Amino acid sequence: MLAAVTFIFVFSCRKYETYPVERITDNIVYDSLDKNATYAEWVVNGIYAFLPNGYNRIDNVVLDAATDDAVASNFGNNIEVLGKSRLSAVNNPDDKWALAYEAIRRANLFLANIHVVPRDETTKTYWKAEVRFIRAMNYFELLRRYGGVPLLGDKAYSLEENIQLGRNTFNEVVSYIVQECDAIYPSLRTDPIDNTNLGRITQAAALALKSRTLLLAASPLNNPADDPARWLAAATAAKDVINLGKYSLAGNFREIFTNRKSPEVILAYQAAQHSNLERQNAPVGYVEPNVSQGYVSPTQELVNAFPMQNGLPVTDAASGYDPANPYTGRDPRLAATVFYNGMMWLRRPVETFEGGLDNPSAAVRVSRRTRTGYYLRKFLGDFGNATDYSNQNHNFPIFRYAEILLNYAEAANETDDQAAAYTQLKEIRKRAGLQAGADDLYGLKANMGKTDMREAIRLERRLELAFEEHRYWDLRRWKTAEQMLNKQLTGVKIIRNTDGTFTYSYQPVDYVSFAAKQYAYPVPYKEVTASGGGITQNKDW
């Protein structure tokens, strides 16, 4: 049965009453006497909590630890259910069915009742559009996990109703999301957002969701006939965001993730300042008050994917890559994405060599240590020269401009517009700090056709959007997960020599596996059984 959860607030007393009550019910939230719409605004803010927040959200690790980009530092982590094909209809750590439908129901309740509240119409128009966006966003989260799902429209079912709805098709859900984005666009705040409304949904966010949805629909998993009209629609949607002229690539890549406001961030999950990310992800060799858990171990496969600063891959003989100094002269995004041996953190070099402070021997008691020789650096504050952690801004980027450029590059390439794809990739590589080179191609190959350009775009998405919950879904929509996620994963073993130099070798540390049926998640068993046959299970589950 579709989740139907009553929205409640807990307070010490209820408005207009002289005795305490335990909850604020709908007739109090939507009150014709509440001229400030205090409770209604709390409802809107509560619905905002259903936006995606990808920080360490599955058993304290990132979703990309179920790909070839990282592993969990501790064995037996629940992420292995996803990364090792152990998923089932009763065991899915990334199940969003009930949560998404809870968000949808709360949105529908709000939309059905907000007209009663005597708040000014401008504010109510914003709220309704924002809530509809979040409803559409949750349908998207369902869509990319399960395929077609039941569309509820504006209906808010009660707990007493026997809900037995069938599944709408994938294309019907896509159409619904796109139509919602188009419908709410004029009613949302314009971009860029003012400082007092940071984190609010804007017109660009609606266009960005439309872009992501149409790219999913155009991708090989959902477009087996390679219909060019789908790719054209995806390209147009991404170009619409670009044509707003309101966003640009930020000058400093690292600061995108620690500034409350950035010219690149279209929508982020806003959170109070904290140092939790540092304590969850930084290397483990620091002591109180800076103890960290090091939950995520990026793989050597990801590290190898980053080119040299001249843009050439490390496998290219002309790149200048030195195996004895593997982190020297690399794409600056590498140091912004992973901790590697020798990086400065809290005024000392990170020690991931064998027996180092951040990779101690088994005899030293720590809760976990890197399994690959690396830790997750992205999203963390600038503590290279600090003595202690302090609270920082950490706002998970739901949509940022770099993704839009990459969306456009991908869709344009598939419509045989390689020139447009070159333009987007060059802009991103330029911002990353790669060298233009004599040919002004930032290490890209000249005269690429569709196939080579496709691979270049996919690589750039992997590097630029690492740990932002893209690769996990990209490999599925490209229908390449069977090739990319059935293999051994490797890490680096570093020996410190007596003269202070290091010797590097590489060894398997884990594996990732992917069964074809995992291109779509299983619908939760309880939903199938409670639907009376209306909700069918996905293939092979």
Q: CA 2, CA 156: separation in Å to the nearest integer?
A: 11
- How many angstroms separate the CA atoms of 282 and 292, rounded? 6
User: Over the stretch 95-126, which tens digit does the pLDDT of each residue have?
Assistant: 999 999 999 999 999 999 999 998 999 999 99
Provide the pLDDT for residue 24. 60
Distance CA(467)–CA(336), nearest Å, equals: 12
Closest CA to 305 of 411, 461, 414: 461
Q: CA 90 to CA 86: how far, in whole Å?
A: 11
pLDDT of residue 16: 34
Tens digit of each residue's pLDDT (9 = 90 or more) over 165-193: 899 999 999 999 999 999 999 999 999 99
Compute the radius of gyration of the chain from its Cα atoms: 24
Q: Going by DSSP bridges, is the β-strand pair 70-72/375-376 parallel, antiparallel, or unpaired? A: unpaired
Collapse the DSSP code of 347 into the 3-class scheme (helix H, G, I; strand E, B; otherwise coil) and give the result.
Answer: coil
Instruction: Give the three-state DSSP class for 511.
Output: strand
SS3 track for 12-41: CCCCCCCCCCCCCCHHHHCCCCCCCCHHHH
The DSSP 8-state label assigned to residue 518 in this structure reads G
pLDDT number for residue 122: 96
* pTM (predicted TM-score): 0.93
Cα–Cα distance for residue pair 485/469, rounded to 1 Å: 16
**CA angle in degrees (0–180, nearest 5) for 318-322-323:** 125
Contact 308, 73 (CB under 8 A): no
62's tokens: 């990132």
Do 337 and 377 contact (CB within 8 A), yes or no?
A: yes
Residue 37's pLDDT is what?
82
pLDDT of 22 reads 42
Residue 432 and residue 264: Cα distance in Å, rounded?
Answer: 13
Q: What residues in the chain have per-residue pLDDT under 50?
A: 1-22
Our CA dihedral for 211, 214, 215, 221, rounded to 10 degrees, sits at 160
Partners of 72 in the beta sheet? 296
Residue with tokens 């409803």: 135
The token pair at 52 is 């995606």
Distance CA 112, CA 105 (A): 11
Neighbours of 497 (CB within 10 A): 9
Instruction: Name the β-bridge partners of 339.
Output: 375
pLDDT for 532: 83
DSSP letter (8 states) at residue 417 = -
User: How many whole angstroms separate alpha carbon 67 and alpha carbon 480?
Assistant: 12
State the helix-helix crossing angle for 203-218 and 401-414, rounded to 10 degrees: 40
What pLDDT does 39 receive? 86
The answer to whether 59 touches 83, Cβ cutoff 8 Å, is: no
Predicted confidence at residue 162, as pLDDT, reads 63
8 A C-beta contact, residue 256 and residue 465: no
Q: How far is residue 444's CA from residue 310's CA, in Å, rounded to a whole number?
A: 10
The helix/strand count (H/E) of the chain reads as 17, 10
- DSSP bridge pairs for 71: 297
Residue whose structure tokens are 């959007």: 465
Helix (H, G, I), strand (E, B) or coil at 127: helix
Enter the DSSP assignment of 166.
P
The per-residue pLDDT for 11 is 23
- Provide the 3-class DSSP secondary structure of residue 70: strand
Query: For 358-367, b where at least 16 C-beta lie within 10 A, e where not — what string?
Result: bbbeeeeebe
Q: Output DSSP code: residue 298.
A: E
pLDDT given for residue 32 in this prediction: 77
Angle, CA of 96, 53 and 212, to the nearest 5°: 75
pLDDT (0 to 100) of residue 155: 87
Amino acid at 11: F
Please report the pLDDT score of residue 12 as a whole number: 31
Residue 504 has φ and ψ, to the nearest 5°, of: -115, 135
Residue 35: predicted pLDDT: 67
Calpha distance 88→387 (Å, rounded): 46
First to last CA, the chain: 18
Q: Give the DSSP H or E segment for 492.
A: strand 487-496
Give SS3 for 137. Answer: helix
